[in-house]
Chains A and B, each alone.
Chain A
Amino acid sequence: MRSWLFALACLAGAAAAQQDPWTDAFTFERVEIPPGIDPQIGGVDTTPSGKLAVCFHRGEVLIYDPAAATWAPFAEGLHEPLGLLAESDASMLVMQRSELTRLRDTDGDGLADDYETVFDGFGMSGNYHEFGFGPAQDADGNLYVSLGTASNGAGVRREIRGPWSDLGVPRGQMTTGTKEWRQVREAAGRMYSRVPWRGWVVQLSPDGEQVTPWACGFRTPDGIGFDADGRLLVTDNQGDWLGTSKVHHVRQGHFHGHPASLVWREGWDRPALEVPVAELE
């Protein structure tokens, strides 16, 4: 009898497990955006004390306290921050267009007073589509950021940051808004990577000093994180070479399908668009 009851309990448990396993995983709560803030959110993380750190379109970082339902400012003035990692309640890593920045409140007043550049060793052509995402952190504390490619919806600015790859349409013809640019925009590629690490995931040592280009072949790798088994996962945004948005399991040295970023592979010597599809596969 006892064993029969036990078996019944097991069956009941198995039946429960076959139901939607996500039922109790989370709840939805409506959080009002603070007044005066452009509500386009670029990144969210929970702080160690259970607060919500959020960065916004115009560069604010605000902290939401769910217990008190109040918002408090933490930082501002960042350039299109699209990722945030709360190291503590007083230290956040934020990926903005131009750099990975550590925001620290060093005097305990709740506001970041130190904006430390952790990593800006990647190029900016000034093209609007060169977004930066991340960071994700592995078990050893290494950081990973992912960098979007440029769109031929525009050319490049007269002033750029970082070296230029000569593999492709000459830079002199790619200045945005010019007649020359309009003539070469098709040839430039739908998405292009002419400054370093565009279309790459880059690994940084915990102090940001050691930079390792980790994997390439991304278009707009707009989500990056680790799963419970320590696998680095990156979502990439649908467009040229990507029939649909997908999740990549990223491993060091791998190529993930979009050719533009190949020009930054060591020893690479051809424009990305000249690579035959068979070779890409």
Chain B
Amino acid sequence: MTVRAGRLDHLSATHLMPRSTRFALVLVASLCAALPAQQQVQQQQPHKEPAQQQPPTPPEPGEQHYTMYCASCHMPDRFHVGPSLIEIGKLYGDKSDDFVAWCHAPQPKRQGVIQMPSMAHVQKAQLLQIHSWVVASTKGKEEVVVKNADRFRASPSMRRRPLVQRIFMPQAGPAAIAVAASDEGHFCWDAGECRLRYVWKGDFIDGWPVWRANGNALAKVVGDVLLREARTPLPADEDARRKFLGYRMKDGLPTFRYRLGSMRVEERITPLLDGWGLERRFALQGASQPVKLTMTAAPKMTYTSEDGTFDGLVFTPSKGKERAFTIVMEEKE
């Protein structure tokens, strides 16, 4: 989650909270909205203590819808993935129909900024509520000028998924490759050691610490690391020769190729089509004998394969699959 510093005094602090907190608040707000009916029921029954506590004022419907549908890309007071509410308020102040039309059928508009997805799933009445809340709550306000902010963090070349980015990464060698395999599944692959280093779930990386100046910093992993591999799962002595040969891009994702001892290896990590998880495909040439893989114990992940059997963490490919097999890595329920 991005840290969102600064605030507009007249806007509720909910916008500045992490998204999960905001969702929780929406839930609370929904419960609060349901409360009056409950109180009516209670009033018909005798009760000892009078209701003395006022429930917190629920956010306006427009604000609730904003939190649900818009807040991940639009911040109240500054440009984020898309324009700020202040800018939107200025653009659409007296043009609510244009606002609704745009939300339902957005077009490519700003150069260098990712195109907004259609909000066709949000009803016109709700969009009108969002519009009136945005206009009312931003009237007369000016955007916050953020110093040292990454002007390009929202640009398509940064936000597109999948994405490959070589950059200095934490807890990896200096020749690291960060890969956003999907919206939420990412991994760090080390071209120096020719092996996967770790897998995480979240919003990929923040490269600004490296890019903002001379590179004397590491990129930040944004999310939760689910797996850290201690060594290559392939059979190799500590001092086995490793040589990185490069990668081939297919569907936006790399197939790494390298030499490991006597073997020539291709390794490709792709997202699962459904559910959170990654599929890891190995293709081997030149193995002197049938290989067994030793996976790293991962409390947060499970390993499965249709191409062989697991005995604990040791994977043995089935007959006929010794040279090419896939291991599925999924987050433990």
Give me the interface of A with B, judged by CB distance under 8 Å. 34-38, 57-60, 73, 76-80, 96-99, 101-102, 111-117, 120, 124-126, 128-129, 153-154, 157, 159-161
Give the distance to chain B from A247, nearest Cβ to Cβ, in Å: 24
Which of B155, B165, B174, B245 sits near A117, CB closer than 8 Å? B245
Flag if A37 contacts B246 (CB, 8 Å): no
Assuming the A-B contacts A58-B157, A159-B174, are A114 and B112 also in contact, with contact meaning beta carbons closer than 8 angstroms in the complex? no
User: Quick check: is B136 within 8 A (CB to CB) of the other chain?
Assistant: no
User: Which residue of chain B is the closest to A161 with respect to CB atoms?
Assistant: B192
Q: What 5 additional pairs, Cβ within 8 angstroms, besides A77-B177, A114-B246? A: A36-B158, A77-B164, A124-B174, A124-B175, A126-B174
Give me the interface of B with A, judged by CB distance under 8 Å. 111-113, 151-152, 155-158, 163-168, 172-175, 177, 191-192, 207, 211, 214-217, 244-250, 254
Which of B155, B168, B173 sits near A37, CB closer than 8 Å? B155
List of 10 A-B pairs having minimum Cβ-Cβ separation, nearest first: A36-B112, A36-B155, A35-B112, A35-B111, A79-B166, A128-B216, A77-B164, A98-B175, A126-B174, A124-B174
User: Which residue of chain A is the closest to B172 with respect to CB atoms?
Assistant: A159
Give the distance to chain B from A16, nearest Cβ to Cβ, in Å: 46
Assuming the A-B contacts A59-B166, A126-B168, are A37 and B191 also in contact, with contact meaning beta carbons closer than 8 angstroms in the complex? no
* Alpha-carbon gap, A257 to B232, bound state (A): 42
Q: Which residues of A contact B158 (CB under 8 A)?
A: 36, 58
Flag if B111 contacts A120 (CB, 8 Å): no
User: Which residue of chain A is the closest to B166 with respect to CB atoms?
Assistant: A79
From B173, B175, B214, name the one whose CB has the most chain A CB atoms within 10 angstroms. B175
* Alpha-carbon gap, A51 to B163, bound state (A): 26
Which of A35, A115, A124 sits near B246, CB closer than 8 Å? A115
* Alpha-carbon gap, A117 to B166, bound state (A): 13
Q: List 26 A-B contacts (CB under 8 A).
A: A34-B112, A35-B113, A35-B155, A36-B156, A36-B157, A37-B152, A37-B155, A38-B152, A58-B157, A77-B164, A77-B165, A77-B166, A98-B192, A99-B175, A101-B246, A115-B246, A116-B245, A117-B191, A126-B173, A126-B174, A129-B214, A154-B216, A159-B174, A161-B173, A161-B174, A161-B175
Question: How many A-B contacts if CB must be within 8 Å?
Answer: 110
Assuming the A-B contacts A36-B112, A37-B155, A159-B173, are A79 and B167 also in contact, with contact meaning beta carbons closer than 8 angstroms in the complex? yes
Which of B151, B157, B192, B247 sits near A124, CB closer than 8 Å? B192
Q: Which residues of B contact A112 (CB under 8 A)?
A: 249
Give the distance to chain B from A239, nearest Cβ to Cβ, in Å: 13
* Alpha-carbon gap, A115 to B191, bound state (A): 12
Give the distance to chain B from A13, nearest Cβ to Cβ, in Å: 50
* Alpha-carbon gap, A34 to B111, bound state (A): 9
Q: Which residues of B contact A124 (CB under 8 A)?
A: 173-175, 192
* Alpha-carbon gap, A87 to B41, bound state (A): 80
Q: Which residues of A contact B216 (CB under 8 A)?
A: 128, 153-154
Flag if A120 contacts B113 (CB, 8 Å): no
Flag if B215 contacts A128 (CB, 8 Å): yes
Q: Which residues of B contact A98 (CB under 8 A)?
A: 166, 174-175, 191-192
Flag if B244 contacts A120 (CB, 8 Å): yes
Give the distance to chain A from B39, nearest Cβ to Cβ, in Å: 53
Q: Which residues of A contact B111 (CB under 8 A)?
A: 35-36
User: Which residue of chain A is the closest to B171 with respect to CB atoms?
Assistant: A159
Q: Which residues of B contact A159 (CB under 8 A)?
A: 172-174, 192
Q: Which residues of B contact A113 (CB under 8 A)?
A: 248-250
Give the distance to chain B from A163, nearest Cβ to Cβ, in Å: 12
Q: Which residues of A contact B217 (CB under 8 A)?
A: 128
Q: Which residues of A contact B113 (CB under 8 A)?
A: 35-36
From A34, A112, A115, name the one whose CB has the most chain B CB atoms within 10 angstroms. A115
Give the distance to chain B from A151, nearest Cβ to Cβ, in Å: 8
Give the distance to chain A from B254, nearest Cβ to Cβ, in Å: 7
User: Which residue of chain A is the closest to B179 with respect to CB atoms?
Assistant: A77
* Alpha-carbon gap, A79 to B168, bound state (A): 8
Flag if A160 contacts B165 (CB, 8 Å): no
Q: Which residues of B contact A57 (CB under 8 A)?
A: 211
* Alpha-carbon gap, A115 to B244, bound state (A): 11
Which of A59, A101, A125 sits near B165, CB closer than 8 Å? A59
Give the distance to chain A from B93, nearest Cβ to Cβ, in Å: 27
Flag if A78 contacts B166 (CB, 8 Å): yes
Give the distance to chain B from A121, nearest Cβ to Cβ, in Å: 9
From A57, A76, A101, A124, name the one whose CB has the most chain B CB atoms within 10 angstroms. A76
Give the distance to chain B from A66, nearest Cβ to Cβ, in Å: 20
Q: Which residues of B contact A37 (CB under 8 A)?
A: 112, 152, 155, 157
User: Which residue of chain A is the closest to B217 with respect to CB atoms?
Assistant: A128
Q: Which residues of B contact A114 (CB under 8 A)?
A: 246, 248-249
Assuming the A-B contacts A38-B211, A113-B250, A116-B246, are A58 and B191 also in contact, with contact meaning beta carbons closer than 8 angstroms in the complex? no
Give the distance to chain B from A155, nearest Cβ to Cβ, in Å: 10
* Alpha-carbon gap, A84 to B22, bound state (A): 47
User: Which residue of chain A is the closest to B167 with respect to CB atoms?
Assistant: A79
